[in-house]
Structure formats: structure tokens, C-alpha cells
Amino acid sequence: MKEYLIVDGYNIIGAWPELQELKENNLEHARARLIEILAVHAALSKRKVIVVFDAYQVKKNNGSQEIIQGIEVIYTKENVTADMAIERLTAQIPKHEKVYVATSDRLQQETIWGKGAFRISAMELKREIDMTTQEHKPHYEPKVYVSNRLEDRIDPEVRRKLEMISRKP
């Protein structure tokens, strides 16, 4: 059975302190950071992740959909809220698939329950991502490079003295 995670992008950005701080300086950076976090989570959790961002107030906006770092990113079109897009997506996914919707919007949570999806609050998603990352950390943490060159392994002060000796005529 395939699992889906549909994320209300701006709702999560507004709820996570790290992203909220980024948003205050640059909304694009906050979106990019959320996408980066979700991409790692998607790879580790094996879920298909879809993040939806509102663009309903942008005039003459036709919306867009793209794959970024392996996750589907949707910007809604004019007059279509993220909630509306999430409801439509939830209804389109086959009933035998497991669907989670990440939002702290209470009305949205009640609506998606009616569509058969599970809800995850913004803070629950944060905890889940942190736990998944911790569980997998030993598997993807970079290895420390140890040089085999003698000059890289000796004490810097000893190295300095040897270099001074070697420069004398």
C-alpha cells in the first residue's frame, strides 16, 4: 500500500519557528527550506510527498505543478486555496491508499477526515520528521576523512618548526 503525505505549505511555514523566522526575511527561502526538509523525509519514510502553496490571491495566476527534489510541489491558481486543492487531491487518491494531510487548520482537518484521510498537525509532522531523521542518521552521516599524508597528521607547531629547519641554507 502506498502512503501519501499532503502538506499545507504555508500553514507549516507559519507553525514552525525555524521557517517562520526565514519567512520574515525571505518567503522564497522559507519555501525552499520546507521543500528540502520534506524531500529528505520523503526519501527516509518512503512516502509520496505533495506540498501545496496558496497562490489564490495572485491575479491572473494559472497555478503550477513541478517536481523538486523528488516531491510534488503545487502552487494553486487564482481563486483556489490550498485547502481546496488539498481536498481535491485527497479525493483523487484511491481509497485503498493511506493519505496523511499535514495542517493545523482545524476546519481543514475536519474536512479531510470526511474524505478518509488522516490528519497530522504541524507540530506532529515536525516531531515525526525529527524522529525519522534521528533513526536514519547513522546511515547517512558523512564519514570523517582522515588524511594519510604525514604533514596533515603532525602537530601544527612541530610542522612549523620542521618547515623552518628545511628552509635554512
Contact 51, 72 (CB under 8 A): yes
For residues 4-23, average pLDDT: 95
Q: Is 6 exposed, middle or buried (0-12, 13-18, 19+ CB in 10 A)?
A: buried
Per-range mean pLDDT, top range of 12-26, 88-102, 123-137, 140-154: 12-26
Query: What backbone phi and psi angles, to 5 degrees, belong to 48?
Result: -85, 120
Per mean pLDDT, which range of 50-59, 98-107, 123-132 is the poorest?
Answer: 50-59
Percent of the chain at pLDDT > 70 equals 81
Question: Does the pLDDT at position 117 exceed 90?
Answer: no
| Average pLDDT over the chain, rounded to an integer | 84
Q: Cα–Cα–Cα angle for 35, 6, 61, nearest 5°?
A: 70
Contact 87, 112 (CB under 8 A): yes
Q: Which grid cell sits at 107?
A: 476546519
CATH 3.30.2010 matches 3-142: no
Q: Which grid cell sits at 116?
A: 478518509
Cell 503545487 belongs to residue: 74
- pLDDT (tens digit, 9 = 90+) per residue, 23-56? 999 999 999 999 999 999 999 999 999 999 987 5
**Amino acid, single-letter form, for residue 41:** H
The torsion defined by the Cα of 9, 13, 16 and 19, in degrees rounded to 10, comes to 130
Question: Does the pLDDT at position 107 exceed 60?
Answer: yes
